[in-house]
Homo-oligomer: A and B are copies of this chain.
Amino acid sequence: MGTAEIPDIVIGRLPIYLRALSRMALEGARVTSSHELGRRLGISSAQIRKDLSHFGEFGKQGTGYHVDFLVGKLRKILKVDHEWEVALVGVGDLGRALAHYNGFRDRGFKISLVFDSDPAKIGARLDGFEIQDAARMGELIKQHGITLAMVAVPAEAAQKVTDALVKAGVRGILNYAPINLVVPDEVRVQYIDPVVHLQRMTFYV
């Protein structure tokens, strides 16, 4: 199956399905249905069946999905059936919270390099990481063959950091800085900005 044929909006729902199914597995569920999954997610069962049908047959009419099997399939489709090393740039409050966050590991990710440009932070330990000098970012990221990074620096520094990451081979950036990044076509950026999410709600409230 070519990835080009699958709409990006479908890909965007797969991690949500995976998260819900993983939780069901944790709760002891062995079998589920598109109805049950849809009810949990506020998505129609028809939508879920249609989304999954892009990737083959995962359930049988009337018997539903085997939770563990579908979790395995989704992990494979999303390529998180192995662990990705991620670089974290910026050790302010948010970067620190990300470094402490224990929700990455069993979901396919591991922070393995942490950078900051503040001389007062460089060399310090943070949860088992040594904070590295941002000046060595390109060199170390290449050395480790890292392709994913989280950017948690101030808006003013984000584009420059991004340029260096892209030059070092990073192909996916999770950007926490409240600014749009300009990147080449082959690089993906996802944005996390609480204000953007809040403003999206105030329109309706």
Q: Which residues of B contact A182 (CB under 8 A)?
A: 40, 42
A205 in contact with B190 (CB, 8 Å) = no
B23 in contact with A109 (CB, 8 Å) = no
A145 interface hit (Cβ, 8 Å): no
B205 in contact with A108 (CB, 8 Å) = no
Number of interface residues, chain A, beta carbon within 8 A: 59
A14 in contact with B203 (CB, 8 Å) = yes
A194 interface hit (Cβ, 8 Å): yes
A113 interface hit (Cβ, 8 Å): no
Complex CA distance for A20 and B179, rounded to whole angstroms: 7
A121 interface hit (Cβ, 8 Å): no
B190 in contact with A197 (CB, 8 Å) = yes
**Chain copies in the assembled complex:** 2
Q: Which residues of B contact A188 (CB under 8 A)?
A: 201, 204-205
Q: Which of A62-70, A98-106, A130-138 contacts B (4 or more CB under 8 A)?
A: A98-106
B100 in contact with A93 (CB, 8 Å) = yes
Of the residues B94, B109, B200, B202, contact of A195 by C-beta under 8 Å: B109
Return A111 CB to nearest CB of chain B, in Å: 10
Complex CA distance for A7 and B18, rounded to whole angstroms: 27
Q: Which residues of B contact A155 (CB under 8 A)?
A: 23
B148 in contact with A205 (CB, 8 Å) = yes
Residue from the set A16, A150, A171, A197 with the largest chain B CB neighbour count within 10 Å? A197
Known pairs A84-B202, A200-B190, A205-B188; A195 contacts B104 (CB<8 A): yes
B198 in contact with A172 (CB, 8 Å) = yes
Across the interface, name the chain B residue whose C-beta is closest to A180.
Answer: B41
